[in-house]
Amino acid sequence: MRPSEPIPAVKQLLFVDPSAAVSGGIERDYGQRVHVVGCRGFVEARARLLDGAPDILVTNLRLADYNGLHLVLLVKAAHRRTVCIVHTDRPDLLLIREAQANGAFYERTDRLAHALSGYIDATLPIKDRRNPERFDRRLEFRGGRRAADLPIVV
């Protein structure tokens, strides 16, 4: 994929996660907008990827004996135009950097349901330029000038 080429509209999303709660929430929230195909493990997801390329692959970083990077590498080796997103609730910076080096985007699992909308609707850059080590300012209390903005009111 060349930098000047826009990514086409999403028609199919392959979601790979062993957790029924996470995959059920994604299918419920996005099933009306795109065709969501859910897989619980690596073997089933690998078979689906070999049958045909989805527009977006969303995979958990940890998939029992395998990890989501195996699926990202399979997509990359096949030279497909699939956008890959790797998510996890237990960040491992080495694996996250490896995913980004192979063209995948990274999201934390707790933010995935909200962030996925942007991946479906937006024109994406070729690679994820975000630094996974950088602290997320949204988690930090920044306050303001009003008394109600103080973390502890005396």
HSE value, Cβ hemisphere, 13 Å, CA-based, for 3:
2
- pLDDT value of residue 56: 92
- pLDDT value of residue 130: 77
Q: Kindly report the pTM of this predicted structure.
A: 0.76
Six token digits for residue 82: 């699939």
- Angle separating helix axes 93-101 and 68-77, nearest 10 degrees: 10
| 93-152: pLDDT as tens digits | 999 999 999 999 999 998 888 888 888 877 777 778 777 777 666 666 666 666 666 666
pLDDT at 22 over 60: yes
Q: Where do the domains of the chain lie? A: 12-149
Total count of residues recorded for the chain: 154
- pLDDT value of residue 27: 79
As a whole number of angstroms, the distance between CA 105 and CA 118 comes to 12
Contact by Cβ (8 Å): 92, 69? no
pLDDT at 65 over 80: yes
pLDDT at 154 over 90: no
Type and span of the H or E element at 113: helix 109-121
Taking CA atoms, 18 is separated from 107, 124, 125, in Å, by 17, 27, 28
The percentage of the chain sitting over the pLDDT mark of 70, rounded to a whole number, equals 80
Residue 12 β-bridge partners: 35
* CATH code of domain 12-149: 3.40.50.2300
- pLDDT value of residue 118: 84
pLDDT at 4 over 90: no
